[in-house]
A and B are shown apart, each in its own frame.
Chain A
Amino acid sequence: MAVTRRGALFGLGSAAAAALGASCTRDDAARARDVDAAFAFSPEVVGHRIRDGARVEPSPDAWRDLGVVIVGAGVAGLSAARALSAADFHDFVVLELESAIGGTARGGRTDVSPHPWGAHYTNLPRAENVDYVAFLRAHGAVEGLDAAGEPIAAEGAICRDPDERSYTAGKWFEGLLPVAVMNAAAAADLAKLEAQVARWAAFRDARGRRAFALPRALGSDADEVRALDTQTFAAWLDAAGITAPPVRWLCDYACRDDFGARPDAVSAWAGLHYFTSRHRETGDGSAPVLTWPEGNGRMVDWLAADAHPEILTGLAVADVQPLEAGGVEVRALDVATGAARGFRAKQVLLAVPQVFAGRLLRSFRDAPPAHLAEFVYGPWLVANLELHTRPGARGYPLSWDNVPYGSDALGYICATHQAGNDWGPTVLTWYEALADADAKAARKALLSWDAAACRDRVFADLRSAHPDLVRRTTRVTFARHGHAMVRPRPGFVFGAAREAAAQPFRGVHFAHTDLSGLALFEEAFWHGRRAAAEILVAQGRTG
C-alpha cells in the first residue's frame, strides 16, 4: 500500500499524541483493572464434570414417563417444541443445561437495556422460506406481503439507520467497507466479487433452485454448486483474482462472522453463501437485517411463547440410552441440587450440537460413528460492556454494528440502538470468533482465560478506536461459547457426514443448525420442524 502524505503526517501526529499520552496509559491500565469483570454463566463446568465420568443414576422414584423428551432449549429444540404444540402434541418436556433458554441465540438484560449473548440478527427471509415467514409474521416482524408475494418487514424490526460503520485510520466511516484504504485496485477487486455474487444470485439449476437458499435444503445441489464445496474460499478468491487487502479483509471478516473460521478453512460455497444468500434483486441489493435489543433472544422468546412447553432449565443431561424393548432413557443431573433425574420417552430429540450428541448417546460414546469427527466447531467469546456514557468518536456516529478495520475480533453491537435509545448509559456487545485453524486449541485457550484476561482482550481490541472506553465502562460480563459455530470446511456441506448425522437412531432424533453445515437461526428453525415432523410420524401421527 502506498504511503500517502496525509497518512504519513497523520502517523507522525499519532506518534506525537502517543508520546504525550504515554503518561495516561498507565492510568488507563490501572483503571481497566478496576472495571468489574465476570463470566455471566459457565455451563462447561458441569458439562465437563459429566464428560469426565460423574455418575448420574436416578433413584426409582425420580423417573418420569413421557412421549417425547427434547434435549436442548436452543433454537432447534424450541422450534421442534413449537411444531409439536402446533400439531396439538403436548406430551413432552424440554431439558436445558443452562439457567435460561436460547443457546447461542440467548438474550440477557442489564438495568439499562436488554442485550444479546450470541446471535443478534436475522435477514428478512424470502417468501420460499414459508414457515419462517409465517413465524415472523405472527409476531409482527413481517407486516405483510408485497405484490410479488415477498414479505415486507415491519419498520421497528428492521435495523435502524445508521446500521454499520467501520473504523479505519483514526476515523469512523459509514458501512463495513474500509473506504479510507480503498484504492483503485481494491475497488476493481470489489467489483469482481460483486459480479460473482450477482452471477451466483441469478443462478438457477435445472429444477429452478437457487445456488444459495435459506434454508439450505431448498438450495441447489447441481454440479457447478457442488464444485464450490471442493475448494477453500481463500483459494477461490485467489483464482478469481480478488487479492486486494481491504476486500480480502471484508471476506475474512465475513467468514469469521458467519462461520467462526478464516477463508482458508471454509469452502468457497460457504464464503459465497455469506454474500449471496442475502442478495436481493431489488432495493439496495441486500435483504433487510431484522434485529432486536436482545438480539435473537427476542425470537427465542417468541418460539417459547408459541410452544408454551414445559422447560426444565438447569438440568444437565448425562446419558441417553435407547432400550432394546423400544423407548429411550434419559438421565440428567439437576445442576442446583445435584439430584439425578430420569425420563423414559418413546422418542428423544437431541437438539444439541453433534459433538454433544456423541457424548450423551451411550451407543455413540461406546462406538463413535465416523460422521462425528467431521463436525468441527469454532469457539466464541462474547462480552457485554456496560457504559455509563457513550464513547466519543471521530467521523460517522455510533451505529448498530461497529467494526474496527483490521481487528481480529468482530467489533460490537450497540444494544440500545434498535430501541431508539440515543443518550446516556448503554450496553455494547462485543464479539470475537476465535478463528484459529486448530479449533480445539482455540477452545482450550478460551477456557483457560479468566474474566480479567477476557476484559483485557476486549479493551486491547477497542483501544485505538475508543481511547475513552475504559473510563466509561462500569462492568464487563462474558459468555464463552466453546462450540459456537460449526465450520463449513471444504467438502462438509455436500459430504455424507451431515446426512448420516441427521438419521434417527433407535428412537433418538437429531436437530441442530450444524446439520446444515452452517450456524444460522433459519437452519436451526428448519431442523427443529423437520425433526418434529419425523417424531410425529413415529408417534403414529401424520405430521
Chain B
Amino acid sequence: MDRVPLLFLNVLVVATCGLVYELLAGTLASYVLGDSVTQFSLIIGLYLSAMGVGAWLSGKIERNLAMRFLDVELGVAIIGGLSAPILLLSFARLSWFPVVLYGLVFVIGTLVGLELPILMRICQDRLSFKDLVSRILTFDYLGALVGSLLFPLVFVPKLGLLKTSVFFGLCNAAVALWGTWLLADVLGAGVRLLRARALFVIALLGFAFTQVDLIEGLAEDDLFPDPVVLSKTTPYQRVVFTQSKRGFNLYLNGNLQFSSGDEYRYHEALVHPAFAAAPAPPRHVLVLGGGDGLAVREILKQPGVETVDLVDLDPAMPALARGFRPLVELNGDAFADPRVTAHEADAFIWVDTAPAGRFDAAIIDFPDPNNFALGKLYTRLFYQKLRRILAPGAAVTIQCTSPLYARLSYWSIIRTIEAAGFRVHPYHATVPSFGIWGYALARTVPFDPPQRLTVTGLRFLNDRELASMFTFPADMAAPGADAVEINRLDNQWLVRTYETEWRRWQ
C-alpha cells in the first residue's frame, strides 16, 4: 500500500506543531520580559537558525532513518509540549531565565530542523525528487498557515498558553505513534520499544495536561505588563518592581501595590484624614504594613509627630525602602528619619506586645485579604487588639480594598471595624492604577467626618476633596444589612467573599 500521502499528513502536523512552539516561545517571552518586537525577532531568528543547524545535522545520520525520525518527533513532542510550562515556571524561579528561554528555543528549532530532511530521505525511494520537494514543502508551508491561524484564533483563547503547548506536544507524540505503523516496513526490529517510548511520552504529556492548572496557578502571579527591574523572593512573598514609561510599580505576589505615577493619591488619602480627624496633633503614630515607606513619607509631613513605629512582616520591604534607589527617592528616604522605627513582625502578634494606650494615630496598610494569613488582619479580634494600644480619642485609617470591585468585602471590613467598638466613616479616592479605592476612618468615640486638613501643599488632597471623599455613589453604597457578615477569625468570611468578588473582574 502506498503510504506516502499519509506521510504528507504527517508533515502537515509536524509543521503546525513546529510553528506553534515558535509562537509560544515568542508570546511567553514578550509576556514576561516585555518588548514584544525584540522578543519575537530574537526568537524567530534563533528558531530558524536552529532549524538550519538541525538540517545540517540530519546529514550526519546514516542509518535507521525511520527510527531516528520518530525519535526526533518524540523529542519535539516532549520538549515542545512542555516548553510553555517550563518557561513559565523557570521565569518565576530562576534568575538565568533567558538562558532557559533561548536554550529551549534552540533545542526545539534544531529538532524540528532535523525532521523534514530525514522524512524526505525516507520518501526519496518512493517519489521522484521533483514531486517530493514540491509536496513536502507545500505541506510544510500549509502547516505553518494552519498553526499561525489556529494559535491566536482558537487555541490561546480556548485553552490558554500552557494547555496549547501540551496539546501540540500530544499531537506530535500521537503522530509519532501512528508513524510506527506507517513506517513499520522500514523500521525493522525495535518497533515495539519505540511504541512503548511513544506511549510513555503520551502518558507523560497527558499527565501534564491534567496538571496544567496547577502550574498556571503557581506562575500566574509572575506575569507583568512591564519589564521587571528588580525581583526578590523572600520567605513571605515575591517582591517585584517593574519599570514603565510612567514610572515604576511594586508588585507583591503579583498584586500591584503602587505605581509611582499616582501613588501620591493613594497615600495622601490613606494618611491625612487620620490627622484631620484626631482631636490633637498625633505625636505617636503607628503604621501597620506599608514597608515601602510611602505612608511614612506622608506622616512626616504632619507637624508634631514625635515617633513613627512601622510594623512589616517582611524585613525585605523596609530594606528596599532604604536601599533601592528609585524607592528611596520616592519615599524621601523616610526610614532615615530618626523618629521612624521599623519592626519586623506579624502585626497580629505584634499588637499584643505594644504598650496599652500608646498611639495617637494608626495607619493600616495591609495587602488585600486574599489569603487566610492576611484575612486575620481584618478580623474583629484584630481590631479589638488594636484598640488596646490606641490612646483615648486616637484616629485610625485603614485601607479596605475597592468598594466598587469588591463591594461586599469593603462593607464587611467597615462593619467588622464597627463590631470591634469603633465609630467608622467610610471614604474613597480614585487612584488610576487601582481604580476606585476604599478606606475607613475610625475612632473609638463618636465624631464627624473631618472638613479641614492639618497640612497644606499636598498634590491630591485639599479641603474640598477631603470632604467629598466621604460621600458614596449608589453603586458603592452600603448593601443591605444581611448581605455582609462580620469577619471573624473563626469564619474568615472576608477571604472567601473577596476571592469571589475579584474573580468577577478578572
| Chain A contact residues, CB within 8 Å of chain B | 6, 9-10, 12-13, 16, 155-156, 158-163, 288, 389, 394, 397, 419-424
Contacts and interface: CB of A to CB of B under 8 A. Distances in A.
A421 B380 CA distance: 17
A160 B236 contact: no
Contact of B204 (A10, A16, A159, A161): A16
B492 interface: yes
B492 A161 contact: yes
Interface stretch (B78-86, B133-141, B368-376): B368-376
Nearest to A6: B210
B490 A161 contact: yes
A160 B349 contact: no
B346 interface: yes
B490 A158 contact: yes
B489 A161 contact: yes
Nearest to B376: A420
17 contacts: A9-B207, A12-B203, A12-B207, A16-B207, A158-B488, A158-B489, A161-B489, A161-B490, A161-B492, A161-B495, A288-B490, A389-B235, A420-B489, A421-B346, A421-B349, A422-B376, A423-B236
Contacts of B375: 161
Contacts of B373: 422-423
Contact of A422 (B207, B214, B346, B492): B346
A538 B219 CA distance: 72
Given A9-B203, A13-B204, A424 B349 contact: no
A163 to B, nearest CB: 8
Interface of B: 203-204, 206-207, 210-211, 214, 235-236, 313, 346, 348-349, 371-373, 375-376, 379-381, 384, 488-492, 495
A7 to B, nearest CB: 10
A155 B489 contact: yes
Contacts of B384: 155
A288 B495 CA distance: 20
Contact of A155 (B236, B348, B381): B381
Given A160-B490, A161-B490, A420 B236 contact: no
A155 B490 contact: yes
Contacts of B214: 394
A423 B492 contact: no
Nearest to A171: B214
Contact of B346 (A155, A160, A162, A423): A423
A155 B379 contact: yes
Contacts of A394: 214
A6 B209 CA distance: 10
A423 B210 contact: no
A160 B376 contact: yes
A348 B365 CA distance: 60
Contacts of B376: 160, 420, 422
A422 B366 CA distance: 15
A6 B206 CA distance: 9
B210 A9 contact: yes
A13 B489 CA distance: 38
A288 B489 CA distance: 12
Contact of A13 (B207, B349, B372, B490): B207
Contacts of B379: 155
A162 B349 contact: no
Contact of A423 (B203, B235, B488): B235
A420 B380 CA distance: 13
B346 A161 contact: no
Nearest to A163: B490
Contacts of B489: 155-156, 158, 160-161, 420
Given A155-B381, A155-B490, A161 B372 contact: yes
Nearest to A159: B490
Nearest to B314: A423
Contact of B492 (A6, A10, A162, A421): A162
A48 B191 CA distance: 70
Nearest to B379: A155
A423 B345 CA distance: 10
Given A160-B490, A421-B346, A422-B373, 17 more contacts: A9-B206, A13-B207, A16-B204, A155-B381, A155-B384, A155-B490, A156-B381, A158-B489, A160-B376, A161-B492, A162-B372, A394-B214, A420-B348, A420-B349, A420-B376, A422-B376, A423-B373
Contact of A397 (B204, B206, B372): B372
A424 B235 CA distance: 8
A99 B304 CA distance: 55
Nearest to A417: B372
Nearest to A424: B235
Contacts of B488: 155, 158
